[in-house]
Amino acid sequence: MSISELDITAEELERAVRPAPPSMDRLRDDLGRLRQDIADGDHRGVERQRALGKRTARERLDLLLDEGSFVELDMLRRHRAQGLGMERQRPHTDGVVTGSGTIDGRRVFVYAQDFTIYGGSLGEAHALKIQKVMELALSTGAPFIGLNDSGGARIQEGVMSLNGYGGIFQRYVQASGVIPQISVVLGPCAGGAAYSTALADFTFMAGDTAQLYLTGPDVVEAVTGERVTHAELGGAQVHGSRSGVATFVHDDEEECLASVRDLLSMLPSNNLGRPPAAPPCGATTDLRPRLAEIVPAEQNKLYDMREVLAELVDDGEFLETHRNWAGNVICALARIDGEVVGVVANQPTVLAGVLDAKAAQKAARFVRFCDAFSIPLVTLVDVPGFLPGKDQEYEGVIRHGAKLLYAYCEATVPRISVIVRKAYGGAYIVMDSRSIGTDLSLAWPTNEVAVMGAEGAVNIIYRRQLAAAADPVTERAELLERYKRELIHPTYTAERGLVDDVIDPAETRMAIARGLAMLRDKRKHSAPRKHGNVPL
């Protein structure tokens, strides 16, 4: 039977056999199901992640960001690698969730590596996704946060994985000093990925699952014969107390991500803005008589500088960086009369507060960060000098001490120093003295500023006189009294203009708050140059 014998035209027949085009509703539903499947993840992979005591990438972002604020980018991205079975497995997201959200209403850009997909390993598409949000963070002037949980470079993608890391590192350097960069280690972070933490401004590590190293235990054993566990090689406690790589260490992911939010609340979004300020709280008239009780007048008696700091800052609250590394110096962010400040302070309870190579490195990096992001610096000085000894010289204490010296000399933010008790030798100079450019120098009546302490000075200056003395003990006591009376009495530095005022300890919070108000509009002025040569 021909078409002509049917009561139907050719056009009508063609329409009858052709599949109906999908409706918009159907396309929308299909896309919605795909997105939901991607968000839910592989069930077995998610269960394995939780069995390790870890949250999924999306659960971590929910903890970090304001509720409902996350906007995901590149959700449908997949790798294009061929060979070694890669063409048969092309999961969406390629093992990293990227996008933007808010923290306390302020814009941030983030990535969270997904260990359930290829172990969070980094390939070409994975790297390009991270690079995209880094570029958006830099172009919009918003902080950048990376949540790391990755086995490292994706071996199956060869050199493209290494190329991807290089692109990420380049962007970290481009953004350095322009936007705050925070790295959070919530699982393994091995090989090239480890440099993302070293290039960031702050590194957080959480719990027993956080592991950070260039080469894992198997490689270490193969090369050196040494057997070492993941925790011994690169656990959170190791990097928090021995290497200094971890700025903050926390027991679990929830506490860690809450601390990231706390840190962001004290940082500006970029180098052109100011840190978020709280309302003034009357610090300019706030006397703290307890300060005189905390600090003994005797130079060799110990006290906890954290107690002093708690009296000086608003609500007694401060966020201390590297708390368990180089404990002889304290570095912390806090507020004084609502304004964010960076505090550097000697800690007498650890090595009597001396400066050593590690303490100088720690403080120098902190000072440079504060200066880059317009955070005023407050320095509390009680330092007997640099730690002497062969080990320190071999460790390069001269070079590392020069880093701190360089950082302070270069800083253009408002700078206030308070000499609480002793300030001896080169350490006095380095701890933001008048000679290297502090704007306001204050001292307590207990201050002693000199080349060295009285005992050492008398033993050197009067060596022959003491050796010939009929009563060396009485002679030494008289010479000590003379030295203190003539060279380190409370107003000695003030009389020479090296201290602006000697204040009652109770007035310290008040004096710092007034000084910060006076210096708030300080302008940067420096000679034009490409850059200085930091003694790295």
Give dist(CA 316, CA 436) in Å, integer: 30
- List, in order, residues 6 or more apart from 446 with CB less than 8 Å away: 295, 297, 299, 420, 421, 490, 505
Q: Please calculate the CA angle 381-383-388 and round it to the nearest 5 degrees.
A: 155
Cα 179 from Cα 183, distance rounded (Å)? 13
Q: Is 68 known to be catalytic?
A: no
3-state secondary structure at position 20: coil
Measure Cα distances from 369 to 175, 342, 360 in Å. Answer: 13, 9, 14
Helices (H) and strands (E) in the chain, counts: 22, 16
Is 81 noted as a catalytic residue in this protein? no
Extract the tokens encoding 147: 């949540």
3-state secondary structure 138-195: HHHCCCEEEEEEECCECHHHCHHHHHHHHHHHHHHHHHCCCCCEEEEEEEEEEHHHHH
| Residue 109 neighbours by CB distance under 10 Å | 26
Q: Is 192 a catalytic residue?
A: yes
- Interatomic CA distance for residues 308 and 353, integer angstroms: 14
Q: Dmax of the chain from CA atoms? A: 142
**Sign of the CA dihedral with 310 first, then 315, 321, and 323 last:** positive
Of these residues, 427, 443, 511, 513, which one is catalytic? 427
Give me the catalytic one of 45, 141, 244, 426: 426
- Looking at 151, 192, 385, 401, which residue is catalytic? 192
Q: Which residue among the candidates 120, 187, 191, 234 is catalytic per the annotation?
A: 191
What residues are annotated to the active site?
Answer: 191-192, 426-427
